[in-house]
Chains A and B, each alone.
Chain A
Amino acid sequence: MRTSTKTAVGVITLGVLGLSYQLGQSAEVTSGQFAAPVANSTSTPTTSETPAATPSSSASVVPAPSTSSNSSADPKPSASSSSTTSTAPAPKPSASQSQNTSGASATKSGSVIESGFGTVQVQVTMVSGKISDITMLQANATHGRAAAFPYLIQSAISSNGAGFANLSGATYTTNAFKQSLKDALAKF
């Protein structure tokens, strides 16, 4: 290129990159395309507080069961706080459910998986053979990967299993999520 052109191109380049950097600094999401940025990686492991812990998967209708909230119908008061225990062998009609299906609802937890970016553990609620809700018992993921969880939950619910495509940019987290999910599903 001729020198004058070169200079002009250099200046424009610096401008474009500078502007891009500025835009990047105010960018909300750091990694991937995940829509809902989760507050901050760490999320509470189970017990008392109810859905708050979950990154509120939009699709879920069932409030995280097994804890205090819907004590009404449960024969057992669902001591499910610790991860591995299973809840609700009972039919659990649960008046509060918005699901109109008469199918049984059950909740199981998967094992704790180390993803490389943090630990992941899911809790799955099934209603008549379909995943109706997934709660993150542990949702630790650094480097912005935590933003992947709402997406993963949605994908798992809509595909009714762990057969959905890996989420790019969060492959390790996806794999850990799937592993815990499969583990939980195997218990049903």
Chain B
Amino acid sequence: MQDARPSLQLTQPNARVRLGIKKWLEIKRGQDFIELLAWASVVAVVAMFLINGGLKEINSLAAGLTALDRLTALIATNLLLIDILLVSRIPWLDHYYGHDRVTAAHKKLGKPILYLVLAHFVASVWQYSIAENKNLVDEFFAMITSVSDLLTGSIALVFMILVVVTSLNFARKAVTYEAWYLIHIFAYGAVLLAIPHQFSVGTDIAGKPISLTYWISLYLFVLANVVWYRIAKPVIRAMRSNLRVAKVVRESSDTASVYLSGKNVAKFGGSAGQFYMLRPLTPSQWYRPHPFSISAAPNDKFVRFTIGARGDDTALLQNIKPGTPVLLEGPYGVFTEDRRTKEKVVLIASGIGIPPIRALAESMAARPGDVTIIYRVRNDQDASLLAEITEIARRRGFALHVLSGKRAIGTSWMNADPLGRTDQDRLMQMAPAIKDSDVYVCGPVAWTRSVERSLAVAGTPAHQIHTEEYAW
């Protein structure tokens, strides 16, 4: 199993890479621009509201509620559309932020949006109950039965509450993945259900050409992105490439590599360090995408993932039958050479965090000695892809340090050292230029934090540290 692989086929590494701080500043500038656009969209909506006299003559509770009702609805809708954009897998968002940060932002935005929608709902019912002299409950029933589109709007609210509640951390553990997924699909339905009342009873949209144009364009933009990047593109590519499992190879006691082949796999693009969402197209798995980093640099023969046995479906995926059709979404992520700014590189992996590190080692532009690889494993026998990474290091002249065995103390991210040196000292010995290097770290969350602390002490600037958390 762990025989050396003299026959290991490697792709040609990247011939050149652009280095320097300017590259990072350009990315920063791009991020600022995107954030500015998002912010401007909210400001524009509020400005339109104000120009339309939204805060004019607020001289009674009812008038105040009307203003609150309209304003919360406008901001919530705008944020909701941004939130949907964040999960539409737009390539430029991924390029500037990376999939994990975009997803985190999406999750963070959920609760404020719900609060705004709830405020809109309460203010709206309250305001009309004052105008109609009814109590809130009667007024609510009068509204959903007599006013067009308010019933669908209310159903949409119920869905929205469900989506947010089931996504809260404690609830997320209680509901099954299927239930959570289904509810999220319903969220799109909720948005659709909520659309009519905005255009039919929304004071701030109908009959106001500028507002109407703004909202229709925003809706269409979001719709186009979701339909294209989430559905059409992966499906079209799946049909064209006819991607299937070619073979499954055991790599260690608890990991296995899955090779996919099909037509034009080179056309998938992407670069080492990126990951795909993998969906085996079987009745029980097609709706369960799993994120996996490619464990070999992109080439024209196969796409390879190396999968650890980490509960949920990974055991099942390790035993996937050759010939099974699969669908890939991606590639995603910024754990790539694209983010490199320095000549020296240190690649640090722990356990099943090795696949993207292995792919980066294969493809990065480097001269012998430029790259140092640190691979933390429980024991040599369980070290997945060790033979390959050793071979790559040998051929390309990279330093490889395998840290195998139990750690000495709880906070350490290395193995126990017979000489009793600290992590910091050992890091400096393995990678003396760590301060002036780009460092790529991939492993479990707590371990990654620990490495980051060491790097901070060593003085590596934050923009030179690239992490990919291996979530399972």
Q: Which residues of A contact B (CB under 8 A)?
A: 1-2, 5, 9, 13, 16-17, 19-21, 23-25, 27, 29-33, 116-117, 142-143, 166-169, 171-172, 175
- Selected from A5, A20, A143, A169, the residue in CB contact (under 8 A) with B206 is A169
Q: Which are the 7 A-B pairs with shortest beta-carbon distances?
A: A33-B207, A168-B206, A169-B203, A20-B50, A27-B53, A20-B47, A116-B132
Q: Is the CB of A169 within 8 A of B53?
A: no
Given that A20-B51, A33-B207 are known contacts, is A166 also in contact with B57, CB under 8 Å in the complex?
Answer: no
- Selected from A5, A16, A24, A175, the residue in CB contact (under 8 A) with B32 is A5
CA–CA, A17 and B131, complex, Å: 29
Interface centre among B31, B56, B147 (most CB of A within 10 A): B56
Given that A24-B51, A24-B53, A30-B53 are known contacts, is A168 also in contact with B200, CB under 8 Å in the complex?
Answer: yes
Given that A33-B207, A171-B201 are known contacts, is A1 also in contact with B35, CB under 8 Å in the complex?
Answer: yes
Q: Is the CB of A168 within 8 A of B199?
A: yes
Given that A20-B46, A27-B52, A30-B56 are known contacts, is A168 also in contact with B203, CB under 8 Å in the complex?
Answer: yes
- Selected from B51, B62, B132, B147, the residue in CB contact (under 8 A) with A171 is B147
Interface centre among B36, B50, B132 (most CB of A within 10 A): B50
The contact size tier of chain B is 35 or more
Q: Which residues of B contact A (CB under 8 A)?
A: 28, 31-32, 35-36, 39, 43, 46-57, 62-63, 66, 128, 131-132, 146-148, 199-203, 205-208
Given that A17-B46, A20-B51, A21-B50 are known contacts, is A168 also in contact with B202, CB under 8 Å in the complex?
Answer: yes
* Chain B residues within an 8 Å CB radius of A2: 28, 32
A79 CB to nearest B CB, Å: 34
Pull 29 A–B residue pairs with CB atoms less than 8 Å apart, ordered by A.
Answer: A1-B31, A1-B35, A5-B36, A9-B36, A17-B46, A20-B47, A20-B50, A21-B55, A23-B50, A24-B53, A24-B56, A27-B52, A27-B56, A30-B56, A31-B203, A33-B206, A33-B208, A116-B132, A142-B131, A143-B66, A167-B206, A168-B203, A168-B205, A168-B206, A169-B203, A169-B207, A172-B128, A175-B146, A175-B147
Q: Is the CB of B50 within 8 A of A24?
A: yes
CA–CA, A58 and B430, complex, Å: 87
B60 CB to nearest A CB, Å: 9
Known: A1-B31, A169-B206. 7 other contacts (CB 8 A): A32-B206, A33-B208, A142-B131, A168-B199, A168-B200, A168-B201, A169-B207
Q: Is the CB of B207 within 8 A of A171?
A: no
- Selected from A5, A27, A32, A117, the residue in CB contact (under 8 A) with B203 is A32
CA–CA, A168 and B203, complex, Å: 6
Q: Is the CB of A17 within 8 A of B47?
A: yes
* Chain A residues within an 8 Å CB radius of B201: 166, 168-169, 171
Q: Is the CB of B55 within 8 A of A24?
A: yes
Q: Is the CB of B66 within 8 A of A24?
A: no
* Chain A residues within an 8 Å CB radius of B52: 24, 27, 29
B230 CB to nearest A CB, Å: 28
- Selected from A13, A27, A143, A169, the residue in CB contact (under 8 A) with B43 is A13
Q: Is the CB of A143 within 8 A of B131?
A: yes
